[in-house]
Every structure is written in structure tokens, then in C-alpha cells.
């Protein structure tokens, strides 16, 4: 799950960020967040990736709005 960081200074590697919707930008930030990566690895280790995240986990990672739509 370790990203390739060999070209992190290459501005062209990040051009797609300019066209991302807010959800895409949020995902790009979340997937790089170390605590989220640990949580995801724990889900994989328990074969829970097919089950939905608990409402509490969804709240922690900002995957759901706090109120009703």
C-alpha cells in the first residue's frame, strides 16, 4: 500500500489535481493519511473489506455527513 514517491517533485504528476471535484481531492488526501492507511490495513487483515464500515468509522473518516441530507 506504499505509494510510489520517487517523482514527488514532478509538478506534471499532480496536474490532475486541478480537475478533481471536491470529493476526489478529499479522497486523495484521505488515502495518504497514515491513520486511515492503518485502519484500512486492519480491515484487510480481518477480511472485513467486503462489509461496510461502521457508522462510527464513517464519521471518523468523514465519509458521511453529520446530519440529514
List, for residues 9-57, the tens digit of each pLDDT value: 777 777 888 899 988 888 888 888 999 999 888 888 887 666 777 888 8
Please state the pTM of the whole predicted model: 0.61
Which pLDDT score, from 0 to 100, does residue 57 have? 85
Residues 21, 26: Cα–Cα separation, whole Å: 9
Taking the C-alpha atoms of 20, 11, 34 and 48 in order, what is their torsion angle to the nearest 10 degrees? 50
8 A C-beta contact, residue 17 and residue 28:
yes
Amino acid at each position: 500500500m506504499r505509494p510510489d514517491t520517487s517523482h514527488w517533485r514532478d509538478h506534471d504528476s499532480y496536474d490532475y489535481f486541478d480537475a478533481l471535484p471536491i470529493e476526489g481531492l478529499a479522497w486523495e488526501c484521505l488515502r495518504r493519511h497514515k491513520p486511515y492507511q492503518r485502519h484500512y490495513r486492519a480491515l484487510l487483515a480481518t477480511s472485513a473489506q467486503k462489509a461496510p464500515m461502521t457508522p462510527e468509522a464513517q464519521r471518523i473518516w468523514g465519509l458521511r455527513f453529520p446530519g440529514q441530507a
